[in-house]
Structure formats: structure tokens, C-alpha cells
Amino acid sequence: MSSQKVVLITGASSGNGQAIAQLLSQEGYKVFGTSRNPSSAQPIPNVVMLALDVRDDDSVAACVGAVTDQAGHLDVLVNNAGYELAGALEELSLDEAKAQFETNFFGIVRMVKAVLPLMRQQEGGQIINISSLAGLSPVPFVGIYSASKFAVEGYTEALRLEVQPLGIQVSQIEAGFLKTPMMTNRQVATERIGEYEPWRQRALEAIRSYEEKGPGSALVAETVLKVVANDRPRLRYVIGRQAKRISRLRRFLPEGMFEKGARSSFHLDAEG
């Protein structure tokens, strides 16, 4: 068995996943990245791109199988694949809401179930879930995205407790708004309800401006590198000034004051 650490990164065709794959490969890790269309993904030097749709059990099994066939083992799984669905919660159809969870939450559940037998057998491994500040603090008008990341948070904390005795490390990364292609890849609810229109516009404009001013994917990649290199990684890595500030306020401010701040941040004050 080679001593080079083997890393599998889901959703490496764009944004954070692409930056993580690039950096880890430069740093000497054996990196497998994934895309639903690997042949059209931009090649990354020394990164093997595999096909993966995290919504599909067979695709997940084939992807993990391809890594073990080619590398013999798997040390690190980075669950990064995801997308953002915008719309007032009432505007979302149940199918749209379920689809968001199918990728952002059950995609992680599927990947974790596929790699754990291997990691248990190896008596070691590492799982890093790319959560979000939206999993610690609600974001209106992308509320279902936020809910999917809150679900990731609870799942990751419980998973860490369960698998740490088996020598498997689990961490999650919470970045605030970032300037990545997710802004343009965002999906939007099909239904529109007139009463939400001005509020949706205000909130989405605020989000867009935070994303425009936000850091890029390099910050996420540098953090993942630190976590992978750490023998005893923490549960949580909050990254970026905005995310650090908001997560601190969320913990220490009384609920009413925090909510007032959130309303103002997303321009949801009647007079705002």
C-alpha cells in the first residue's frame, strides 16, 4: 500500500471543490475529484476525475469502487458537492425542497455510508463535510439551502461522536458568503407569490452583494489542507471574517437581538 494519502473530493469541477483538488494535489496528495460530467470538466493536473451523482446509490458505489480499484485505499473524503435553491419557503414545491436535501444532505449520507466500511476495515480515515455559515445562522429566501446545511451540522456532530472511537476523524467547514460560481449556478423556485416579491428581491440583492465582496475558494482550500494535515482535527472550522463574527454573535447574543441583526443584514426591515 502506498504511503501517499488518498483523497476523494465530491464536486471538483468548479468553485471550492476545484480549488481543494488543485491545492491538495500540488501538496502531494493522491487526489480523485468528481463531476456529473467528468469529460467536460476542466482537467486539473494530477487529479483523476470520476463520474459521480451524489443523488444516485449506484453512482456513489461505482465512484468509491473506482477509487479503491485504482489506489487500493481511501484516507480522506471531502463532501463538497452541493447547490443553492432560492425562493421563499412557501414558494418551493415539495419536490424542489426534497431535491435540495437529496444533494446537499442525503448526498453526504450516501457518500459516508459508502466509505465507512472501508475506513473501519483500515481502522482509520477522515471525513470533511463542507457545511456553511448558512448551517449555523438562517439565510432567508435561500431557507431550504440553509435548512439542508443545518441538517449537515447535526449529522456531522453525531457522526464524529460515533466514529471517533474507530479512529475515524470527522470535521466540518463553515464559510460565509463566497465569490464562487454557486452564485450563477443558483436554482430558483418555479412558483412566485406576489407578496414575497419585494422582500425576496431585497434579500437576494443583499446576498449577492455579500457574495461579490466575499473571499474566493482559496480560503476553503487552505483550510481543508490544514484539516487534512492535522492528526487531531477539530469538529468545526469557521472561516472568513464575516462567518467568524456571525457565528460568535449567534452564540452570545440574546435571540431577539440576533434576529434584529439578521433582519437588517438581509434588508427585511419594513422601513429599511
Q: Does 181 bind ligand NAP (CB under 6 A)?
A: yes
Number of residues that bind ligand NAP (CB under 6 A): 31
Contact between 28 and 2 (Cβ < 8 Å): no
What kind and span of H or E run contains 142? none
With the C-alpha atoms ordered 164, 136, 82, 18, is the resulting torsion angle positive or negative?
A: negative
Backbone conformation region of residue 47, classed left if phi is above 0, alpha if psi is from -120 to 50, else beta: beta
Q: Which of 132, 137, 149, 217 is catalytic?
A: 149
Query: Any idea how long the chain is?
Result: 272
Strand partners, 77: 8, 127
CB 202 to ligand NAP: min, Å? 19
Residue spans of beta strands (DSSP E) within the chain: 6-9, 30-35, 47-51, 76-79, 85-86, 125-130, 168-175, 187-188, 236-239
CB closer to ligand NAP out of 95 and 269: 95
Strand partners, 169: 126
Q: Does 177 bind ligand NAP (CB under 6 A)?
A: yes
Q: Does 14 bind ligand NAP (CB under 6 A)?
A: yes
CB 35 to ligand NAP: min, Å? 3
264 is an active site residue: no
Q: Does 13 bind ligand NAP (CB under 6 A)?
A: yes
Rg (CA), the chain: 19
Distance CA 121, CA 260 (A): 49
- Of 37, 164, 209, 230, the one binding ligand NAP by CB under 6 A: 37
Q: Does 91 bind ligand NAP (CB under 6 A)?
A: no
Q: Which of 14, 25, 35, 131 is catalytic?
A: 131
35 is an active site residue: no
Cell readout for 243 is: 462567518
Q: Does 8 bind ligand NAP (CB under 6 A)?
A: no
Q: Does 137 bind ligand NAP (CB under 6 A)?
A: no
CB 71 to ligand NAP: min, Å? 20
- Of 52, 76, 139, 168, the one binding ligand NAP by CB under 6 A: 52
CB closer to ligand NAP out of 53 and 91: 53
Contact between 235 and 157 (Cβ < 8 Å): yes
247 is an active site residue: no
- From 30-38, 87-95, 115-123, 226-234, give the range in contact with ligand NAP by CB under 6 A: 30-38
- From 35-43, 69-77, 119-127, 257-265, give the range in contact with ligand NAP by CB under 6 A: 35-43
260 is an active site residue: no
Q: Does 63 bind ligand NAP (CB under 6 A)?
A: no
Contact between 82 and 100 (Cβ < 8 Å): no
Contact between 168 and 127 (Cβ < 8 Å): yes
Show which residues are catalytic. 13, 131, 145, 149
